[in-house]
Amino acid sequence: MKAPLRRRFISVLAAMTAMAALPWVRAARAQSDPFAALVLQVTGGAPVRAGRVTVDTPRLADNGHSVLLKVSVECAMTAADYVRSITLLSGRNPRPIMATFHLGPKAGRAEVTTRVRLNGTQRVLAIARLADGTYWSGDAEVEVTESACLDAT
Amino acid sequence: MVARVHVPASVKRGAVFEVRINIQHPMETGFRYDNSGRPIPKNVINSLVARYNGVEIFRAELGSGIAANPYVQFYAIAEASGEIEFSWVDDAGQRGSERASVAVAG
């Protein structure tokens, strides 16, 4: 007898989850990373580690014209340990470098909030450069129902 | 250019406080056309600087990926009473500035 539809659906879902966890699938995804060239441009080839940076956006944005975005970095913000800069990169905008914020030990908290334009559903990447010269990154996936770059005639 | 800077009216010395700015600006991407089909040139606020009693505390390079009427929020440490002054410039070379005072108690 055939398994009930729901059970089959669950097994397909489980298989998909398992696939995503496979290392070779991950590697393939990394190769088609739209950020690779951009990150190189921002860091000048220095290694970027994932972590310490959190990008907060609504998971679903009705409209790409104005999406609230908060980026925060795990950093004590003391005279010796602070965030030098944060760069926001878009995975799909015609001009992918959206903004660079320069902070310093006087910034109080390693957190910046702004509103961005997003040309459709995409991944947004933030790269933080700390005082010790290391680069850290964090990202967020935003689903945009109506893109910001529709031809406004 | 009209802008509004928001800081708390008073803060305790050494405390971290929020600074917000909202500038009225179209942030033209350069990808749009006007009613007669001519492209509208790109014009965005490309640089924004915040100074606290004359000392730079925050600087931003913005692009067309920032929404119209740009909004930026960040934090500062209350050191002394005084002013937070913002100044910015757009692609057309137009400059603007706005300030807000903060009173530091204790």
pTM score, whole prediction? 0.83
Distance from B71 to chain A by nearest Cα, in Å? 5
Rounded to an integer, the average pLDDT of B55-59 is: 94
Asked if the model's pLDDT at residue A22 lies above 60, the reply is: no
Instruction: Report the share of chain A in percent with pLDDT over 70.
Output: 82
Q: Which residues of chain A are within 8 Å of residue B31 when distances are taken between CB atoms?
A: 94, 149
CB A110 within 8 A of CB A83: yes
Contact call for B58 and A97, based on CB within 8 A: no
**Average pLDDT score over residue span B51-55:** 94
Higher pLDDT, A130 or A15: A130
Mean pLDDT of B88-93: 95
Between A1 and A97, residue with greater pLDDT: A97
What are the angstrom distances between the C-alpha of B56 and each of A93, A102, A151, B63, B87? 30, 10, 39, 21, 11
* B 13-32 residues with CB < 8 A to A: 16-17, 27, 29, 31-32
ipTM: 0.93
Contacts of B64 in chain A (CB under 8 A): 93-95, 117
- CB B20: neighbour CB atoms within 10 A? 14
pLDDT band at B69 (very low <50, low <70, confident <90, very high): very high
Q: What is the phi/psi pair of residue A42, to 5°?
A: -75, -40
Question: Closest Cα to residue B48, out of A131, A83, A102, A127?
Answer: A102
pLDDT of res. B47: 96
Contacts of A4 (CB under 8 A, 6+ apart): none
Cβ-contact A64, A104 below 8 angstroms: no
When the pLDDT of each residue in chain B is averaged and rounded to a whole number, the result is 94
Cβ–Cβ contact A121 with B under 8 A: no
pLDDT of residue A146: 82
- Inspect the interface and report whether the beta carbons of A108 and B71 lie closer than 8 Å: no
The larger pLDDT score, comparing residue A17 to residue B95, is at B95
Over residues A125-130, the mean pLDDT reads: 95
**pLDDT digit string, tens, across residues A46-78:** 999 999 999 999 999 988 999 999 999 999 888
At residue A28 the predicted structure's pLDDT band, cuts being 50, 70 and 90, is low
End-to-end CA separation in angstroms for chain A: 58
How many percent of chain A have pLDDT more than 90? 54
CB contact under 8 A, B58 and A103: yes
What percentage of residues in chain B have a pLDDT greater than 90? 92
Stretch B34-54: mean pLDDT: 94
Q: Is A90 on the interface with B (CB under 8 A)?
A: yes
Mean pLDDT throughout A32-40? 84
The pLDDT score that the predictor gives to residue A153 is: 40
Average pLDDT over residues A83-97: 93
